[in-house]
A and B are shown apart, each in its own frame.
Chain A
Amino acid sequence: MGVITFKLTCLECGGEIEIPEDVISGEIVSCPDCGMDYEVEIAENGEVKLKPAEIEGEDWGE
């Protein structure tokens, strides 16, 4: 677990989502209030954004 350096707002419920310092683009974070899953997107300029995570597909996993 990395050090928490900042928070982003849940697009669904407005809750605060803690983003670890060492977050990687493509990682999944969840809103502690409503449970919504987001994928972290880090732009070339370093800006961190959240987009709704893909829903589990029937062909996911081993």
Chain B
Amino acid sequence: MKTLSLVSDRIRWDEKALIRAASSIGVDLKLVDPKSMFLKISVKPEDLSEVFGEVIINRCISYFRGLHIAALLEKAGLKVINSFKVMLVCGNKVFTDLALINANIPVPKTLLAFTKEGALKALDEIGFPAVIKPVIGSWGRLIALVKDKDSAQAIIESREQIRNALLQIYYIQEYVKRPPRDIRVLVIGDDVVAASYRYSPKNDWRTNVARGGVSKPCPITEELREIALQAAEAVGGGVLAIDCMESPNGLLVHEVNSTVEFRGLCSATGIDIPKKIIEYAIEVMKQ
């Protein structure tokens, strides 16, 4: 009999919902908080399965903590949702773009530079307004809409002062002319489970729910279904949130999220997403 665990370093609404969902369908979900433990680097399942079980829903709020835990558990032969490779690809915007482009999925025009000089040249090439993002980042942090060269220069110089090697990689993207919203599609395994529009809050152009973005139901069209399934497959599959923009030339995928925050999507659609995630984990346990 396999054991399912939930690895979480912070119990938020989403994690409580997963715990409730497991309980409601009679699944014994083992809770593991990795913060006060150490792990053995090993390739033997028995070294880690006693604590983690055999199938793990990895819900660490800290990306790097979750990534390293996934690496260890997977190397020891345990099944992690989502896999280490999926987390690695989705955690980095460049790696995600490369996976998407490789699968012929349309993405916004993006340039990469490694110094202030290169970044300013890239901005000249892409034109203003443009968007500068960190390659690894979350909740919309440090994502800047730059409208002219002066503000671009100020942002680049600020990033230089932060002395963080990752911030010296400049991910520069066209500003897509879209409605004041994007579309989030949740894919679980081979199913498109739910979709929502995420509207920017007042006084912000970003749509992240963590920044005050508001979720509303979105119809799942054939085009949306197809692009979401393709994007999920391109990064390796699992439980994934595909974020799309409605450009004048059709849908563009601008992000794939591997540790999905689904509270907004649940409230917008009324769909029992936590139950579907638990059911997916049960299917994985049977494999």
Contacts and interface: CB of A to CB of B under 8 A. Distances in A.
Interface stretch (B61-69, B114-122, B123-131, B269-277): B61-69
Interface stretch (B70-78, B134-142, B192-200): B134-142
B11 A28 contact: yes
Contacts of A53: 10
B33 A25 contact: yes
Contacts of A60: 61-63, 138-139
Given A26-B11, A26-B31, A61 B138 contact: yes
Contacts of B257: 62
A47 interface: no
A44 interface: no
Most chain A CB neighbours (cut-off 10 Å) among B62, B136, B210: B62
Contact of B210 (A27, A28, A39, A61): A61
Contacts of A27: 11, 16
A58 to B, nearest CB: 7
B9 A62 contact: no
A52 to B, nearest CB: 12
B154 interface: no
B241 interface: yes
B246 interface: no
Contacts of B260: 62
Contacts, number: 52
Interface in A46-62: 53-54, 57-62
B33 A59 contact: no
A28 B179 CA distance: 36
Nearest to A59: B63
Most chain A CB neighbours (cut-off 10 Å) among B61, B64, B260, B261: B61
Given A24-B11, A26-B11, A28-B10, A57 B33 contact: no
Contact of A24 (B16, B139, B141): B16
Contact of B261 (A25, A28, A58, A62): A62
Contacts of B16: 24, 27
Nearest to A39: B10
Contacts of A39: 10
Contacts of A62: 138-139, 210, 241, 257-261
A26 B16 CA distance: 10
Interface string A13-39: 000000000001111100000000001
B139 A61 contact: yes
Contacts of B12: 28
Nearest to B142: A58
A24 B261 contact: no
B88 to A, nearest CB: 13
B19 A24 contact: yes
Nearest to B65: A59
Given A25-B33, A26-B31, A28-B10, 6 more contacts: A24-B16, A26-B8, A26-B10, A61-B138, A62-B257, A62-B261
14 contacts: A24-B19, A26-B8, A26-B15, A28-B11, A54-B10, A57-B62, A59-B62, A59-B63, A59-B65, A61-B61, A61-B261, A62-B138, A62-B257, A62-B260
